[in-house]
Structure 1
């Protein structure tokens, strides 16, 4: 299992607005909400309404519910207009058919000093496919600033050019 606090603590600070794109059932969501504190916000976005409902159920009994906004995106757009400080893409970029469109929209949402953290699975995504994703991101105005070590996973931390 992944440890959300250990993975994200170096990048997420109190007061940030974080977009967790492809949030699934919320494995990282509540830890992110704790990290951003009461002055921050997590936008938990997913294509599947069922995943968002799982988070909604968990939110009912959580003191962190005030920091979490649920958002259903579509296959063609994230569909938010917020200024984002940090975007977390965990095991989801390989699922997106139009990566150019995805990274273009992400670049537009990201604050000037914001970051994007991409984590892709070790066996499902080849190194070549991962590097192709990164090339697409770089073509949309993003640049790799770090390759965090995360046991066997393929990772990249990106910022705007």
Structure 2
């Protein structure tokens, strides 16, 4: 499934541009889902970089591996994980230069533990981006009761040990927040 490129939805190349990834970076897509961002991140970090595509759904993790093979993305490593468990990502402390949480925060029940686990894996000074739904839209996105507001997301991420840097445009339905690990 491709994301429409009409500016209404989050675009992988736009997100990657705001992320300022560099050759050799190690980045994790926490809740990688269908792998929409794999190609953009893979290209940004190059052959010496690594993209960890993490998800809790085993079938999606298998599919992420297939997508990487089909597209010849040799720097992608799909990993089954449980963000809501300490050590659940199976990544070492401070191994990442950057991490993203896209359209996933609203789905997490234990947001405090998940954000703490993400913070554990990102090195001091590393980057973290959160993109999520601004509201509930008929037929797409989360239910109203699941929406995490931009200010609530910022507060939660800051409480996990990140410093807010800026917000950025991500399309009609989402907000984007950039942080740096303290």
How many residues are treated as equivalent by the alignment?
160
State the TM-score, normalizing by the size of structure 2.
Answer: 0.80
Equivalent residue for 2:181? Answer: 160
Task: List structure 1 segments (4+ residues) > 6 angstroms apart after TM superposition.
Answer: 125-128
Equivalent residue for 2:67? Answer: 58
Equivalent residue for 2:7? Answer: none
2:24 alignment partner, one of 7, 10, 15: 15
Whether 1:42 aligns to 2:62 is no
CA gap 1:136/1:6 in 2 versus in 1, 3 angstroms: closer
State the TM-score, normalizing by the size of structure 1.
Answer: 0.89
- 1:1-161 equivalences in 2 (<5 Å): 1=4, 2-10=10-18, 11-64=20-73, 66-74=74-82, 75-76=84-85, 77-81=88-92, 83-124=95-136, 129-152=149-172, 153-161=174-182
Q: Provide the alpha-carbon RMSD of the alignment.
A: 1.9
Measured in 2, the distance between the counterparts of 1:44 and 1:79 equals: 12
Measured in 2, the distance between the counterparts of 1:128 and 1:51 equals: 24
In structure 2, the gaps of 5 or more residues are: 5-9, 137-141
- CA deviation vs aligned residue, 1:70-112 (integer Å, no higher than 9, x gap): 1000242323216101101110011111111112122221112
- CA deviation vs aligned residue, 1:46-80 (integer Å, no higher than 9, x gap): 0001111222222233322x201010002423232
Measured in 2, the distance between the counterparts of 1:54 and 1:45 equals: 12
Contact in 1 for aligned 2:25/2:97 (Cα 8 Å)? yes
